[in-house]
Amino acid sequence: VADVEVIKTSDDSTVIAGGGVTYRLTVVNHGPSDATAVTATDSLPTALTVTSVDLACTASGHTVRCALGTIAAGKAVTVVITATLDPSFQGTSLANTATATSPVTDPDESNNSSTITTPVETRADLSVTKTSDPAGVTPGSAFAYTIVVNNAGPSTARAVVLSDTVPAGLAVSSASNGCTVKGSAVTCQLGDLPIGQVVVVLHVRLAAGYEGASIVNTATATSHTTDPDPSNNSGTAESPVTALADLAITKTMSPAAPVAGHSVKYVLTVKNNGPSHARMVTITDELPRGLTNVTTTGSTCKLLPPEAPGAPDTPAAGTVQCSTPELAVGGTVTVTVTATVVPGFTGALNNLARVGSATPDPVIANNEAKVTGRTTQSANLSVHKTASASTVIAGHSLVYTIAVHNAGPSSAGAVTITDVLPNGLRLTSTPEHCAANGQKVTCSVGRIDPGTTAQVVVNVLVDPTYSGTSVANTATAQSPTPDPDPNDNTSTVRVQVTPPQPGRPAPELPNTGSDVSPAVLLAALALIAAGVAAIATTRRRRG
């Protein structure tokens, strides 16, 4: 007869779900006989997984059997069993029963089994890490936050919630499944999280006008399960912020071929293609030579004077500089520059405009715009010819005045006046800057600016034998500068001619307006005869 008793204890007063537990089974033989072929059996709860047993024991699934052999009366044998509790175990306690048997008759079988109940607690160490992709962000651009929620155990974390209130300047465009977005608050119901990790992705966009040097965002995970280390339950990403604004400038010129003396208009348009707002935008237009009367409309602009004025026909126009404190993404600024092409300018107008900003520009190829237009000329010349008298006596002089006026808008270059005298008229003197070839008088008056008049005076004598009743004289002006109305480039004046009066010989020289009487002529002849006689007498005396 052998009274066998089983005593079961645990080294752990509390078992943590996901943690380990150590059981000790002690089999005592109270005698009076030795107990032979003693076997101890421990059927572990299904939530436990055996991790180790003594050499005398074997484990099969959740059952551990220990062959203890003979236990002498008054002796005891102890075996150790270690196991791990399932991390997802949700009970508050864990009961484990062990039993010992022997073929020897046991007078008291009530003590052949022993049960121990151990309180169970849960612990889940959650941690959060957060990163942005890309690490550096740009106002106006989209990027993503990757949030990793890790459960280091030992237990399953129950009812995990991830919360992220994005800072001002960020707008959430989408989030992973299980997340809701309400304004700036993002809440993700992650449910029960076993040991391991879950990844949440937030897609956000930074406001184009964000001015900070960095953007800081923090996400926090909470759970109903006690966390042994709450210090790592939040993850923060600080992303450096670099603004970028792609400013593009375009420029037009109208008309494409300006006429010297007329106006020309330049229209500058600057657009911000983003992604960020552009700060302290400056537009610079280096005006070409040959412009005057510059005015601007649009943004805040000023005309910077040139370093040197330049020549009259190629004056330096200066530089137009415009500024605006901020240009939003997608916004445009338009500047209109109007000027007058000086009348004497010829050649091309090459105009270059630039745009810049205090905000870095990722695309500099579109920061300049150039337009070129070759000027044209147009000078409306008109000729007006007058005579000194409406009637002239044959054999007397006549004065023609030829006036060439330029109505513009351009300067007329290399102007020539041609006057072909009709038969019956003779040129008595060649005017300045003129040349005569037979009856043709050609005068090179050169350049005539808009609003001015060049004048040539032609003195002629009417042939005393001229038998016509009138004489018509035509003058023509020409210039290589295009004339929009050549119909008025010729002018004709007609003068009535009367025959000489009887007894009044026609003068050989131009008529001065004073007639010579016969008495005066006789006195002059007498003086000439007396002079000749005096010379003859003097010569005879010398001889």
Q: Are 473 and 419 in contact (CB under 8 A)?
A: yes
Q: Per-residue pLDDT averaged across 520-525, rounded?
A: 40
What pLDDT does 534 receive? 38
**Gap between the Cα atoms of 154 and 194, Å rounded:** 9
Collapsing DSSP to helix, strand or coil, 53 comes out as strand
Task: Give residue-wise pLDDT tens across range 440-481.
Answer: 999 999 999 999 999 999 999 999 999 999 999 999 999 999
The structure tokens listed for 12 are 């752990």
Tell me what percent of the residues of the chain surpass a pLDDT of 70.
Answer: 92
Residue 294 has pLDDT above 80, yes or no: yes
Sheet-wide strand order for 113-121: 15-16, 113-121, 93-101, 35-43, 63-71, 57-60
What pLDDT does 500 receive? 87
**Gap between the Cα atoms of 154 and 227, Å rounded:** 10
Q: Are 371 and 355 in contact (CB under 8 A)?
A: no
The residues facing 484 across adjacent strands are: none
On average, the pLDDT of the chain sits at 92
Sheet-wide strand order for 48-53: 2-10, 20-32, 76-85, 48-53
Task: Give residue-wise pLDDT tens across range 312-360.
Answer: 999 999 999 999 999 999 999 999 999 999 999 999 999 999 999 999 9
**Gap between the Cα atoms of 117 and 427, Å rounded:** 146
Q: Are 114 and 7 in contact (CB under 8 A)?
A: yes
- DSSP string computed for 329-383: TT-EEEEEEEEEE-TT--SEEEEEEEEE-SS--S--TTSEEEEEEE-B--EEEEE
Peptide bond preceding 275: is omega within 30 degrees of 0, i.e. cis?
A: yes
Rounded to 5°, the CA angle 269-284-291 comes to 95
Pairing between β-strand 157-165 and β-strand 214-222 as defined by DSSP bridges = antiparallel
Judged by phi (left if over 0) then psi (alpha if -120 to 50, else beta), residue 140 lies in: left
Task: Give residue-wise pLDDT tens across range 413-435.
Answer: 999 999 999 999 999 999 999 99
Beta-carbon-side half-sphere exposure of residue 120 (alpha carbons within 13 Å):
24
